Structure 1
Amino acid sequence: MDGKSTRPPTLDDALAALRRGEPIGLPTETVYGLAADAHDPVAVRRIYALKGRPSDHPLIVHVADALAASRWAGDWPEAAEALAEAFWPGPLTLILPRAANVPDEVTGGQDTVGLRVPAHPVAQALLRAFEGGVAAPSANRFGHISPTTAQHVRDEFGDAVPVVLDGGECEIGLESTIVDLSGETPRILRPGKISRPEIEAIIGPVAEGADGDSPRASGTLASHYAPRAQVEVLARAPLVARYKELQKRGQRVAALLRGQPFKDIEGEVLPADLAGYGHALYAALRRLDARGFEVLLAELPPHTAAWAAVNDRLRRASAPRDADGT
């Protein structure tokens, strides 16, 4: 594609860029990814450089179907087959022992690999035409808010990523559930739309959170998904009091409320339902951040299994920024 062209990039443009070793912006149902040929170590290193991502922080390989995924794994247990049949294509990443030919750049030097079959029709069309896997972390600078529109990706990278396929707003808006199947006990390393009860209904009991033997996984650092503004998560009454306190100090503060506005509180109101809230969260954080607020006060969501992914993302967005050097 001519870098000066104003026409939207096409699937052919994206395929050509991938085959040249260039990363592209790719829509999925969760968030937009920064995708490159997962079998090309040089192309994968370009992802790390663009994002400013530590080279030992592994990437997720996206493929067209479960058969393609199994070729990236050194072992394909019954639990992987059952979860793939239940949830793929969809917002589920499986961590499995890696196949011998998977580049270290993809795995962060570990002996495991993360695999996902996205459901977005644009991603599916590209993966089927490419006939390979793409490493595709979220298309944002490392540790920052994930993108849920093509414009978010363009805002993040500009001319550094000229090919961004526009698939509209991401349906889900939060990253995939990550399930580690590489150890003796299946573990959810990152919550997502597919909940623990749904997973346990397919493969039986699973643990939550990493243990000492768990591999490193995408999006699991203490500080992640963060705007430039400081984020605090509070129940509504303490949030209102904190808002007034910060205003009196002369700080620029905004609130992220759920379901109902509050008089004289500046900010955004997200839907009260889980699907609507998750879909809108990152875009709202980006809009408020772009307005230059110093502090964002997020109303505490329900503490239920269904809301685990939202609570996880808000907790990481509000963590101290030096928790992991980000």
Structure 2
Amino acid sequence: MEVVIVCFLLFTLERLPLPLEIAVLSVFSILCLYGFLASFANSLFNKELILMGPAIFKKEEPKKMEEGVSSCILPQSHRTSSLRTIANMLDNGGVCGIPTDTVYALAASCKHPEAINRIYSIKERPSEKPICICISNLDQLRVINPPFSPLLWNFMDLVYPGGISCIVQKGEWLKKLGVGPAYETVGTNDSIMIRVPDHTVTAHLTDMTGPLAITSANPSGESDSTHHDMVITRLSDKLDAVLCDGYSNELVGSTVVNCTKINEGIIKILREGCVPTTKIMQLFERAKNTLGVL
């Protein structure tokens, strides 16, 4: 074929002698006839009767997606059975994407520290960044009576439930709350961040599971997930389930408030999220005024 192609180029340039031209055309005709007969015979009998050699051009078959690559299930949040499914997965040590009153979060039960460690791996989250806990309501704290000051209780009464995370002093009271197995895994050595989301689905779920360790459902350093589709696209291959609840209520996460020095009349905004700093400070002033603190 290389000789035929070269001869055709010479013929185009009118540099091919007539005898050679006739010979090349004869050879080309024989090749074409052989190819036609070989293709016809092989196709007719569905096997290679006449050798043809490998094809020069091959049609690429579309790659089929492997079935069962992801075992992540996607229940709908409006079904009671879905909450039971997610609760059972969390109780068995799973990691799930769940909605909150702000953005979507990754959740693991505080009964399973190894599941909390999985969250770090899933998100590629730096180990020095602590994970907070989520409870359904303040009554869960009141029952165990942690050693919080009246000012802290007043402040939490004003901000919970809602898109605010309060950092408080860590203590043995966490074990009474149900965080015992994960005591060393959540928070820092001295403090713990608490979330009480203003979200019916999240509240019901945490009532069923007990305290959950949660953090935003996005790869570390990337934007928050504001729809369950974003969680599915980014992380479903690493998760056991995603509780689908549509669009989130907010575009950013909670506002983080350090309350470890609240007894000194000091709070510090570590991250401004969906609740603005001015609103936080107004609530803090109300909490102090209730106690007559100047």
* TM class by smaller structure: 0.5 to 0.7
Q: Aligned ranges for residues 302-313 of structure 1 at < 5 Å?
A: none
- In the aligned structure 2, how far is the partner of 1:27 from the partner of 1:125? 12
Correspondent of 2:206 among 127, 133, 149:
127
> Does 2:184 correspond to 1:104?
yes
Q: Give the paired residue count.
A: 203
Which residue number in structure 2 is paired with residue 153 of structure 1? 231
> Does 2:121 correspond to 1:40?
no
- In the aligned structure 1, how far is the partner of 2:257 from the partner of 2:211? 19
Q: Does the 8 Å contact 1:70/1:76 carry over to 2?
A: no
Provide TM-score, normalisation by structure 2: 0.63
Which residue number in structure 1 is paired with residue 254 of structure 2? 176
Which residue number in structure 1 is paired with residue 125 of structure 2? 53
The Cα shift of 1:186 comes to 0.9
Amino acid at match of 1:199: I
**Cα offsets for 1:191-216 (capped at 9, x unmatched):** 1232233222232399xxxxxxxxxx
The Cα shift of 1:128 comes to 1.5
Q: Hey, which bits of structure 1, 4+ residues long, moved more than 4 A? A: 4-9, 69-74
For the pair shown, the structure with the greater C-alpha radius of gyration is 2
Q: 1:202 to 1:35 in 2, by over 3 A?
A: same
Q: Aligned ranges for residues 56-71 of structure 1 at < 5 Å?
A: 56-69=128-141
- In the aligned structure 2, how far is the partner of 1:26 from the partner of 1:193? 18
The Cα shift of 1:175 comes to 0.8
Q: Does the 8 Å contact 1:73/1:113 carry over to 2?
A: no
Q: Does the 8 Å contact 1:72/1:99 carry over to 2?
A: no
5+ long unaligned stretches in structure 1: 207-326
Which residue number in structure 2 is paired with residue 202 of structure 1? 283
- In the aligned structure 1, how far is the partner of 2:141 from the partner of 2:194? 6
Which residue number in structure 1 is paired with residue 218 of structure 2? 140
The Cα shift of 1:3 comes to 3.7
| Secondary structure in 1 matching 2:186 | helix
Q: Does the 8 Å contact 1:74/1:98 carry over to 2?
A: no
> Does 2:271 correspond to 1:190?
yes
Amino acid at match of 1:61: I
The Cα shift of 1:73 comes to 8.9
Which residue number in structure 2 is paired with residue 162 of structure 1? 240
| Secondary structure in 2 matching 1:137 | strand
Aligned-pair Cα RMSD in Å? 2.5
Amino acid at match of 1:115: I
The Cα shift of 1:75 comes to 3.5
Which residue number in structure 2 is paired with residue 242 of structure 1? none
- In the aligned structure 2, how far is the partner of 1:110 from the partner of 1:35? 21
**Cα offsets for 1:46-96 (capped at 9, x unmatched):** 111111112221111110001324679953223332232222211010000
Which residue number in structure 2 is paired with residue 116 of structure 1? 195
Provide TM-score, normalisation by structure 1: 0.57
Q: Does the 8 Å contact 2:169/2:192 carry over to 1?
A: yes
Amino acid at match of 1:145: S
The Cα shift of 1:164 comes to 0.7
| Secondary structure in 2 matching 1:136 | strand
Higher RCO, Cα 8 Å, sep 6+: 2
- In the aligned structure 2, how far is the partner of 1:78 from the partner of 1:62? 22
5+ long unaligned stretches in structure 2: 1-69, 288-294
Which residue number in structure 2 is paired with residue 215 of structure 1? none
- In the aligned structure 2, how far is the partner of 1:72 from the partner of 1:189? 27
Q: 1:56 to 1:7 in 2, by over 3 A?
A: closer
